[in-house]
């Protein structure tokens, strides 16, 4: 791993004159990639989150009080926002790498003198930017309809950054492993989506039977949602310190895994 931030992505061994130039160029490409199709990458997930809020929030608002003193609609908003952050961060890096491999355009990323670390960070930060931007938009759009207090903004920021980073890095791994779009879609539909829906977005874990409560605690996305929600209400199902520790460890683990695959050139150089 010694060549992570100094090793070259391309097959030649020419030195890199401006180490940050390749990173900023690749990051800008990834930013423009999702922003130019913002109806699909930005407005569509935003509309989906708002539909969840309308359907679940206004049909169950008088029937459920997930946390003491907190109505169901305010409880739902941070969960939906964080769910949007995580799903979009994963989708951005995963789809970008998979499509580049399928179209053969990945060669234009591999040929320039970009270090392994710059390659990883450009895809990661672009994924985090998309996820956090869409999640922030969910919160902003719901402020006019739902009264939400922010108790601990630093917790909100910490979980948004760590959570989007973990899912962005996981998306890089999925994109490297996938050879076709349907393989990436399988990861989204059969792994990411169930883990997200079963992480406490729509309910408090204390509402579940003991067996399901125990199972939920093995889901790292639960800690991302719960910790993020703690930043708004100051209450949560588990300690935010436990949540941030688990989320940070998950971020580190998947980042190291993604970097290891990149250094090896896994499914990139052949």
Residue 261 has pLDDT above 90, yes or no: yes
Separation between Cα atoms, residue 63 and residue 98, nearest integer Å: 43
The phi and psi torsions of 269 (rounded to 5 degrees) equal -100, 10
CA separation, residue 37 to residues 34, 43, 49, 130, 183 (Å): 6, 9, 18, 12, 22
* pLDDT score of 109: 86
* pLDDT score of 59: 78
Task: Count other C-beta atoms under 10 Å from residue 48's C-beta.
Answer: 16
Burial tier of 140 (Cβ tally within 10 Å: 0-12, 13-18, 19+): exposed
CA separation, residue 84 to residues 3, 16, 131 (Å): 34, 37, 7
* pLDDT score of 19: 64
CB 163 within 8 A of CB 189: no
Confidence of residue 153 (pLDDT cuts 50, 70, 90): very high
- The mean pLDDT value of the chain amounts to 88
* pLDDT score of 156: 97
Alpha helices in 64-219 (DSSP H): 72-103, 107-110, 116-142, 153-177, 181-187, 193-197, 210-216
Positive or negative torsion for Cα 218, 90, 119, 156? negative
* Tokens (6 digits) for 206: 């204390």
* pLDDT score of 4: 55
Out of 31-45, 167-181, 189-203, least confident range: 31-45
* pLDDT score of 270: 57
Residue 6 or residue 34, greater confidence: 34
* pLDDT score of 165: 98
Confidence of residue 32 (pLDDT cuts 50, 70, 90): very high
Instruction: Give the residues across from 132 on adjacent strands.
Output: none
* pLDDT score of 14: 46
* pLDDT score of 107: 87
Rounded average pLDDT over 156-164: 97
Residue 65 has pLDDT above 80, yes or no: no
Percent of the chain with pLDDT over 90: 62
Out of 29-38, 58-67, 103-112, 233-242, least confident range: 58-67
Separation between Cα atoms, residue 243 and residue 227, nearest integer Å: 6
* pLDDT score of 12: 46
Separation between Cα atoms, residue 163 and residue 242, nearest integer Å: 14
Q: What is the pLDDT of residues 202-241, one digit of tens each?
A: 988 888 899 999 999 999 999 999 999 999 999 999 999 9
Helix (H) / strand (E) element for 52: namely helix 44-52
* Tokens (6 digits) for 41: 């990458």
Out of 47-51, 65-69, 116-120, least confident range: 65-69
* pLDDT score of 138: 92
Residues 75, 79, 81, 86, Cα dihedral to 10°: 170
Q: What is the pLDDT of residues 90-147, one digit of tens each?
A: 999 999 999 999 988 888 888 888 899 999 999 999 999 999 999 999 999 888 778 8
CB 127 within 8 A of CB 93: yes
Output DSSP code: residue 206: G
């Amino acid at each position: 791993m010694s060549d992570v931030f100094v090793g070259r992505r391309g097959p030649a061994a020419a030195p890199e004159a401006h180490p940050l130039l390749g990173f900023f160029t690749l990051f800008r490409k990834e930013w423009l990639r999702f922003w130019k199709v913002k109806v699909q990458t930005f407005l569509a997930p935003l509309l989906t989150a708002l539909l969840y809020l309308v359907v679940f929030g206004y049909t169950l608002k008088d029937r459920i009080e997930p946390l003491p003193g907190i109505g169901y609609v305010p409880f739902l908003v941070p969960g939906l926002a964080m769910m949007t952050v995580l799903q979009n961060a994963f989708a951005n890096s995963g789809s970008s790498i998979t499509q580049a491999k399928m179209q053969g355009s990945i060669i234009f990323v591999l040929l320039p003198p970009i270090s392994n670390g710059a390659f990883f960070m450009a895809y990661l930060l672009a994924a985090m930017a998309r996820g956090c931007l869409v999640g922030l938009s969910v919160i902003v759009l719901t402020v006019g309809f739902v009264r939400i207090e922010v108790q601990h903004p630093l917790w909100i920021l910490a979980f948004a950054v760590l959570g989007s980073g973990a899912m962005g890095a996981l998306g890089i791994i999925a994109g490297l492993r996938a050879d076709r779009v349907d393989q990436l879609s399988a990861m989204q539909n059969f792994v990411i989506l169930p883990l997200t829906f079963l992480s406490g977005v729509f309910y408090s874990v204390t509402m579940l039977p003991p067996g399901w409560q125990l199972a939920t605690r093995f889901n790292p996305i639960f800690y991302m949602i719960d910790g993020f929600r703690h930043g708004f209400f100051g209450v949560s199902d588990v300690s935010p310190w436990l949540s941030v520790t688990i989320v940070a460890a998950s971020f580190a683990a998947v980042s190291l895994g993604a970097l290891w695959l990149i250094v090896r050139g896994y499914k990139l150089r052949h």
